[in-house]
Amino acid sequence: MDNPWWHRSVVYQIYPRSFADANGDGMGDLRGIIQRLDHLAGLGVDVIWLSPICRSPQDDNGYDISDYQDIDPAFGSLADFDELLAGVHERGMRLIMDLVVNHSSDEHAWFAESRSGKDSPKRDWYWWRPARPGMEPGTPGAEPNNWGSVFGGSAWEYDPATGEYYLHIFSRKQPDLNWENPEVREAVYAMMNWWLDRGVDGFRMDVIDHISKDTSLPDGVVRPGSLYAEGGPHYMNGPRNHEFLHEMHERVFAGRATLLTVAEMPGVTIEEAARYTDPARREVDMVFGFEHVWVDRGPDPWVLYPLRLTKLKGILGRWQAGLADVGWNSLYWNNHDQPRVVSRYGDDSPEFRVRSAKMLGAVLHLHRGTPYIYQGEEIGMTNAPFASIADFRDIEALGHYAQAVEHEGHSSEDVLTVLRARGRDNARTPMQWDDSHQAGFTTGTPWLAVNPNHKEINAAAAVEDPDSVYHFYRRLIALRHDDPVVVYGDFTMLLPDDERLYAFTRRHGDTELLVVGNFSGERARADIPGAEAWSSAELVLTNAPARTGLDLEPWQVVIYRRRA
């Protein structure tokens, strides 16, 4: 079988709410995206992943869908969507949708019907349970089990109308669908087929390793100092997850032209990822793992850990090795749930922002797998200067703040320090198009404040400047398109114990690449085995002015190529 097109592709994620606002209401929309398609075509990306645009009360910015087959009026209409899709295809790109089917909105007609009574035909479409035996329903501690919600508080919401609770791993407005029920699965597959028939090219599947739960819903372990248990072990990568995804493949993907399916899986291990992405098993094409973005997290979410490069290399190196023979990696630093990488693993000071953003891009894009660029990453956008909790909009930030400060006794300043560094709103500040008022994002008042640094950091300036992060990313994408070693080369990690340098080779046929990135603000020398062999190699790309061999400037990256 031919290699699928997505092996050679680069994906660009759009968070529509924050991308471009055409109608001046302060929220991005589909017409705004249509107007900016040439920015993406110019960058050279192959695929656009749209975060959710379906009808939604927007409790979790669209990850709470109340109608899977309509567009939220805040984003536009189905006619706008068709025009957007045509515009993407005309430019030779593809478009994948966000598929949010672990849960729906509580305002979805399915849930309204399920909630209407214990004998509703859709009662079993969600997870309804009575109070804990011997407890008065609706009183503290009477929840069916002790799981906490990802956004703070209990994972159960009491519904006085029927005297039972429903499960919501995320907000109370995101009730979990019961995938054990075949009618639920058939309804989801029908909806997916409807989108594919409309012309979309695949799906990014939201928390799709949560769909098979341990149906006994047992209590979990409560971490000291926490009010609720971590239910993850009982609802992530559960007993029927592979079966459900295989069934989805049979019902939806089989027999169609090659699509792209990406499974977001917070709880996935490498071994499981290899199974999920083994083409012979016909489940999904690639998974989004989380290990490498949790490298600076400990058991206590309110403690910040600095990046340890050896740990990061250990994780990414293991993923490269683990999926070398079977399966495929997705490669990302950023998305709408992660802080900006240049502020996190790089240096966002005026002196090193551009250089470190390029270094991070090069290291990521030269791994084996499909790279993802999150809007604004290609111009080196940074974290935002949030002054107080009033500046945040994210349900997760607000929920954690309330739980930590009001119920768990943490100081407001400590919690804010963590939210400033890790909060999801860092990624969600509006796209910085130019240096004008509101960064060219909107003519109105943006739903989340624009980062004041848009005066210097913006797309217009980046496109003008041949030395910008934007043009560097453009070259990285072109390199992937032009040189099979980037797509197919074997990966070998070098210098695993070095805390400053990230070094590896890629080899395909007789072509070998060497990539060395300096993750520090100091000069560093790469003492790699066989260094002499590289002294006359072609310098394919670097982010520093001069050729420096293997002596790297602060935050420098070098990519060398030679015939082996």
Give the binding site for ligand NOJ (CB under 6 A): 60, 63, 100, 170, 206-207, 264, 336-337
Catalytic residue flag (residue 143): no
**Residue 335 in tokens:** 């998305």
- Which of 157, 264, 285, 296 does the annotation list as catalytic? 264
Q: Which is nearer to ligand NOJ, 100 or 415 (CB)?
A: 100
Beta-carbon contacts of residue 286 (< 8 Å; ≥ 6 apart): 6, 261, 262, 263, 277, 327, 328, 329, 330, 369, 370
Number of DSSP helices (H) and strands (E) in the chain, helices first:
17, 22
**Residue 248 in tokens:** 């989805």
Q: Determine the Cα–Cα distance for residues 362 and 378; give it in Å rounded to an integer.
A: 12
Residue nearest to ligand NOJ (CB): 63
Shortest reach from residue 100's CB to ligand NOJ, in Å? 6
Shortest reach from residue 60's CB to ligand NOJ, in Å? 5
Say if CB 245 and CB 208 are below 8 A apart.
Answer: yes
Q: Determine the Cα–Cα distance for residues 233 and 480; give it in Å rounded to an integer.
A: 38
What percent of the chain is helix, strand and coil (3-state, nearest 5)? 35, 20, 50
Q: Determine the Cα–Cα distance for residues 476 and 557; give it in Å rounded to an integer.
A: 12
Q: Which is nearer to ligand NOJ, 22 or 65 (CB)?
A: 65
- Which of 59, 60, 206, 347 does the annotation list as catalytic? 206
Shortest reach from residue 113's CB to ligand NOJ, in Å? 22
Catalytic residue flag (residue 206): yes
Beta-carbon contacts of residue 305 (< 8 Å; ≥ 6 apart): 296, 297, 298
Shortest reach from residue 266's CB to ligand NOJ, in Å? 8
Render the burial of 45-77: b for 16+ CB within 10 Å, e for the rest: bbbbbbbbbbbbebbbbbbbbbbbeebbebbbe
Question: Quick count: other Cβ atoms within 10 Å of Cβ 303?
Answer: 10
- In terms of phi and psi (left: phi > 0; alpha: psi -120 to 50; beta: otherwise), the region of 544 is beta
Alpha helices in 162-292 (DSSP H): 182-198, 232-235, 241-248, 270-276
Say if CB 526 and CB 490 are below 8 A apart.
Answer: no
Q: Which is nearer to ligand NOJ, 176 or 296 (CB)?
A: 176
Shortest reach from residue 331's CB to ligand NOJ, in Å? 17
Beta-carbon contacts of residue 397 (< 8 Å; ≥ 6 apart): 389, 419, 423, 424, 425
Q: Which is nearer to ligand NOJ, 103 or 506 (CB)?
A: 103
Helix (H) or strand (E) holding 50: strand 47-50
Shortest reach from residue 21's CB to ligand NOJ, in Å? 20
Task: Work out the burial of residue 97: count CB atoms within 10 Å of its CB; fewer than 13 is exposed, 13-18 middle, 19 or more buried.
Answer: buried
Shortest reach from residue 152's CB to ligand NOJ, in Å? 13
Q: Which is nearer to ligand NOJ, 265 or 462 (CB)?
A: 265
Q: Which is nearer to ligand NOJ, 265 or 418 (CB)?
A: 265
Shortest reach from residue 332's CB to ligand NOJ, in Å? 12
Q: Which is nearer to ligand NOJ, 49 or 165 (CB)?
A: 49
Single-letter code of the amino acid located at 418: V
**Residue 494 in tokens:** 């070098």
Shortest reach from residue 339's CB to ligand NOJ, in Å? 13
Q: Which is nearer to ligand NOJ, 313 or 424 (CB)?
A: 424
Q: Which is nearer to ligand NOJ, 47 or 207 (CB)?
A: 207
Question: From the centroid of its chain, how far is CA 375?
Answer: 11
Residue positions annotated with a catalytic role: 206, 264
